[in-house]
Structure 1
Amino acid sequence: TITDVSAIAEQATALLTTSVSVRAYDPVTDDAFTWVISPAVWGEWLTLDIDPVDQSHFDWTLDTNTAQAFLDERTSALGGNRFLDAEGAVTAVSTAIQSKQTNVSLRLYHHDQQHTVQAGETIASIGRDYGIPYPWIQDANPTVGNALTVGQTLIIPSPDAMLPLPIVENKRIVVSISQQKTWVYENGVLKWEWLASTGINSSPTAPGVFQIQSHEPNAYAGNWNLWMPNFMGIYRPVPTSDFMNGFHGFPTRDGANLLWTNNLGTKVTYGCVLLSNDNVAQLYNWAEAGVVVEIRPYSMSAIQLVSKNLILRKVVYELDDIVVNCSGDGDGNGRSRRPLLHPTR
């Protein structure tokens, strides 16, 4: 029998003093969402166990099912087919409570999607709409041939398949296929703006959200007999192959001929993103593995791009003792930016 609960009450009161701020970042849309969870909320997730030997002391355990249900509900409300790594998220929150940390950072992921084929669509056009290289869609639908039929259902792989490495949040590279330009951002501020060249129509650069995955001082493309300086791989066009498309400088052939030096700003490569030798050398040293690369098929004005991550939209919901903040990009007119490469259908 416990006769004096004052010591336990004092410890419990000391435990229930810190709100936990959970920040969930979506590297695909470049949005961040924050849930501030008060002790009144997360305190309901705890079970206290009093030490039978020293009844002035207790241990606590976190009800993972309740915590996960809370996080799942908030994540589901975000839309966009998003989810959290449930086990990792609950562990991070539990660790924060135990160590009285106030901030938890998590990554949002995306489920695979289903697409119903419409008239006039091809595997390639569907891949462009979703920002997934079309051989990845073929690989996810092994029984589907090249001849699609209207009403057919396809599995669209998650865009997270293109982001296999830990995300570097404070750096981002944007490439516009329509404008043949590259913009480089650090901490939301435009650092460099350069002319670029992407793939020719018969060997196009895929739009999508990718990331820097490799660095090679001088990579060789056997199919084209090209040596490419300061190569940074960003995606595999074919999931079952090891070769990658990426950034590089002016290539050479046969160790002598320097190619495409007068072609920057026009489509000229076989799928990679070409930069000048000086610019690609800067990018090579600046962009570590994990930096996100957005390749956009459409045009965006320089003013809109400069405002990227500087114009914030902030929505605050008060649900019981929970505050939810959403911050992301704007289009310069106070409207939220449409997520990249979500199909219009």
Structure 2
Amino acid sequence: MSCLSRAFSILFMTCLAVTAVAVGGAWGRVNEPATESAPAPTQLAISRPPASADPSPSPIPTPLPGPISSSASMRSSGVARGADREIVVSVSEQHLWAYEHGRLVAESVVVTGRPELPTPTGSFHIRTKYSPYRFVSPWPKGSPYYYAPLWSSYAMEYQSDGYFIHDAPWLSDWAYGANVRGGSHGCVNVPTAEMSTVYHWARIDDLVVVQS
């Protein structure tokens, strides 16, 4: 083979080698079908309240009320009644009445707010029900209104600013009916036995009328 032929052969083989590298390299993948899987959908972060060592209980579902076996009389309380189901609280009388279609189904003496922390008057509706519920003081230690955390067996919030109708196991029976101990922090306190009856009878959205 002449030198010219040998040189041409070497050049031809070199070109073939370069072409093979191009096909097998990055350029060759441009025309190949995609083989990479689509990226996994991003997991949405769900915002949850921070864990607490002793969190307040969540509201429980409101049970459907059954027939009330109550010994409450049909006497008139002297307060206005209009809704099919309503709870009426009289601040001046320190008393609560529960009515269904005008029939008195439960009543109780109560303790309402002290003069500087009065129970708001007006028409409201039951917003949430809790059993049990833990009350934590919004006032700091050292405040004359501070109180240590307290548990209630039955609590019904009727005003968005944190006003409840609830039992108060920490009160003595003699404290009810006349604000003997200066009154509550604004809530309507009811003896536990009577509050159990009202709680299990009441429904979300029932009318609450607080009168002066």
Question: What are the residue-to-residue correspondences of 1:87-98 with 2, within 5 Å?
Answer: none
Residues 64-213 of structure 1 mapped to structure 2, 5 A cutoff: 169-213=83-127
Structure 2 CA distance for partners of 1:30 and 1:278, relative to 1, 3 Å: closer
The residue number in structure 2 matching 1:231 is 155
- The structure 1 segments of at least 4 consecutive aligned residues displaced by more than 4 Å after TM superposition are none
> Does the Cα contact within 8 Å between 1:220 and 1:227 map onto a contact in 2?
yes
Is contact 1:197–1:265 with CA below 8 Å preserved after alignment? Answer: yes
Residues 250, 261 of structure 1: 8 Å contact kept: no
2:165 to 229, 239, 247: 247
Distance in 2 separating the partners of 1:216 and 1:261: 23
Deviation at 1:199, TM superposition (A): 0.7
- Greater relative CO, 1 or 2 (CA 8 Å, sep 6+): 2
TM-score normalised according to structure 1 size = 0.33
* Identity fraction in percent: 28
Counterpart of 2:153 in 1: which secondary structure?
strand
Instruction: Kindly provide the amino acid, as one letter, of the partner of residue 198 in structure 1.
Output: T
Deviation at 1:236, TM superposition (A): 2.1
User: Aligned-pair distance for 1:197?
Assistant: 0.9
Q: CA deviation at 1:259?
A: 2.9
Q: Deviations over 1:8-28 (max 9, x none)?
A: xxxxxxxxxxxxxxxxxxxxx
Q: Does 1:276 align with 2:191?
A: yes
Amino acid at match of 1:177: V
Q: Secondary structure, in 3 states, of the residue corresponding to 1:262?
A: helix
Residue in 2 aligned with 1:261? 173
User: Which sections of structure 2, spanning at least 5 residues, go unmatched?
Assistant: 1-79, 138-146
Write the letter of the residue equivalent to 1:250.
Answer: A
CA distance in 1, matches of 2:164, 2:123: 12
Pick the structure with more helix per residue.
Answer: 1
Question: Could you tell me which amino acid in structure 1 is paired with residue 176 of structure 2?
Answer: L
How many residues align structurally?
Answer: 120
The within-5 A match list for 1:12-51 is: none
Displacement of 1:292: 0.3
Residue type at the aligned position of 1:206: P
Cα distance, 1:207 vs structure 2: 0.4
Deviation at 1:193, TM superposition (A): 2.4
Equivalent of 2:205 in 277, 280, 290:
290
1:218 aligns with 2:136: no
| Cα distance change, pair 277–30 in 1 and its aligned pair in 2 (3 A) | closer
Contact kept, 8 Å, 2:126 with 2:207, in 1: the verdict is yes
| Aligned-partner Cα distance in 1 for 2:106–2:129 | 20
Considering fraction of residues, name the structure with more strand: 1
Q: Contact 2:81/2:102 (CA < 8 Å) preserved in 1?
A: no
* Distance (Å, rounded) in 1 between the aligned partners of 2:153 and 2:187: 12
Q: Secondary structure at the match of 2:176?
A: coil
Cα distance, 1:30 vs structure 2: 6.6
> What's the CA shift for 1:176?
0.3
| Aligned mates of 1:188, 1:215 — CA distance in 2 | 23
After superposition, the C-alpha distances for 1:254-293 in whole angstroms (9 at most, x for unaligned) are xxxx334321102321111111111100111000101000
User: What's the secondary structure of 2:173's corresponding residue?
Assistant: coil
Within 1, Cα distance between the matches of 2:200 and 2:123?
Answer: 21
Residue deviations 1:154-180 (CA, integer Å, cap 9, x gap): xxxxxxxxxxxxxxx521111000000
